[in-house]
Amino acid sequence: MSNRLVSIIKQNNLPELRRFIASCSPEDVIAPGTPYLNDPLLDAASYGSPEAFHILSEMYTTAPEVAKKFNPKFRPLLSACGTANIDVMRFILDRHDPENRLPVGTVDLHQRDDSGDTPIIVAAGSLMYLDKDADEVEGDGLHWTEWIRDRIARGHHSLRIHRRLYAQGPRRADVILLNARRPRRRRLASRQTDKP
């Protein structure tokens, strides 16, 4: 069932998406049926249109307890940044304030993934493994070289969006140096104890 839903999302078939949602219980749509499949809302953030993302996010409000159980960490912005889905990124960024929020709530622009990466780091990192993503796309009938060019352009556009956002003033906690996870004194002490 989840593969069918992902296919509908990728094809941006909105009438079919509405029919699919109407024919299933919220639990069947939200809970993919196996722990190895992605959450449909995150699939929509990664591969769908803003309209598909919005339709699914409205459906999630009908069963908030199920959504919280299967997706306790609401991170659609990170998913959209990871695939450089510019349209969904803009849709989410336009709705991050309490006055114009998503149906499932506001989005933290400074959220972090399990590795501690912010949306701008995820967007930059998404440009590192294009060949892996492109192999998945070839099955969708797209030419590998065309897809890579488009993906690089979208990745750079994604970074420009984030630069503009951060130009407005990032929080100090978001500016992390790669080697700054441990304080300098502890790093030096560990180096000295490693010496024979």
Tokens matching residue 28: 């069947």
User: Between 88 and 129, where is the model more confident?
Assistant: 88
Between 47 and 16, the more confident residue is 16
Give the pLDDT confidence score for residue 155 in this predicted structure. 74
Of 43, 41, 46, which is closest to residue 68 (Cα–Cα)?
41
* Residue type (1 letter), 59: M
Average pLDDT over the chain, rounded to an integer: 72
Return the pLDDT at 36: 45
Ramachandran quadrant class, 12 (left: phi over 0; alpha: psi -120 to 50; beta: rest): left
User: Which DSSP category does 177 fall into?
Assistant: -
> Is the pLDDT at 171 greater than 80, yes or no?
no
**Between 51 and 119, residue with greater pLDDT:** 51
Closest CA to 35 of 72, 70, 3, 64: 70
Q: At what angle do helices 50-60 and 40-47 cross, to 10 degrees?
A: 160
CATH of the domain at 124: 1.25.40.20
The confidence score (pLDDT) of residue 13 equals: 92
Question: Which domain, by its residues, includes 146?
Answer: 2-194
170: CB partners within 8 A, 6+ apart:
110
Q: Which residue has 């890579």 as its token pair?
A: 148
Supply the pLDDT for residue 17: 92
Residue 168 CB coordination number (10 Å) = 7
| The predicted structure's pLDDT at residue 178 | 41
Cα–Cα distance between 129 and 141 in angstroms, integer? 20
Rg (CA), the chain: 19
How many domains would you assign to the chain?
Answer: 1
19 pLDDT exceeds 90? yes
